[in-house]
Amino acid sequence: MVKVINQSFKIIDKLDGLKTLKKIEKIARICYKTEKLISEDGSSAKKLIKHLVDRGHTAMLEHGYSISVHMICNRGLTHELVRHRLASYAQESTRYCDYAKSKHGHEITVIKPLSFEDGITYEKYKYNIWEMAMLKAEHSYFELRDNGVLPQIARGVLPIDVKTEIVITANPTEWRHIFRLRTNEAAHPQIRTMMKNILKEFKKEIPILFDDL
């Protein structure tokens, strides 16, 4: 039986906003030789970094601490995400993961599309079509495995909505670039929702760096 779950994320690093701002300030002030203006309470860092952001001088933000986020999503989302080249990735491999084994529950797990809502007859009808397709994919996968086909070959029948886990690590400048593109109205609903939720957490934990997005 196919397991259906919602996409989700977890920020791996403990975000220390003030520490990040202070590091960026310490490095950025070398450009202007204004290190004497650094204050212990971080007020000078906040002022300088707001100035950098407002002026679009985001190259300095690359010196901030890299942030890793663990996402659980479908493979369609990750196909788009890994196109951001100035980041590092680690992703669950359908080549080496054998979903026929007990540690995977002898089932495939898929991500529920955001466009299907329970309780609405027409939407439920479309959801049923999608669910049937997932069941057929799972059946084909296990039938191939039962006949000795290796996971790296059997994965060919897995759908784009199959669950995957990916960790993306990037510096603040690259995260700003990702958010700017992937929260845009033209972005796919699945990735747009994910990135808007991550951005909300970043804004809460790291002031100034993401406030303008």
The reply to whether 182 belongs to the active site is yes
CA pair distance 50, 12, nearest whole angstrom: 26
In sequence order, which residues have a C-beta less than 8 Å from that of residue 106 and are 6 or more positions away? 99, 100, 142
- In degrees, to the nearest 5, what angle opens at C-alpha 106 toward C-alphas 100 and 112? 110
Could you say which of 75, 155, 176, 182 is catalytic? 182
Instruction: Determine which helix (DSSP H) or strand (DSSP E) holds 11, and give its type and residue range.
Output: strand 8-11
Task: Classify 42 in phi/psi space as left (phi over 0), alpha (psi -120 to 50) or beta.
Answer: left
Active site members: 182
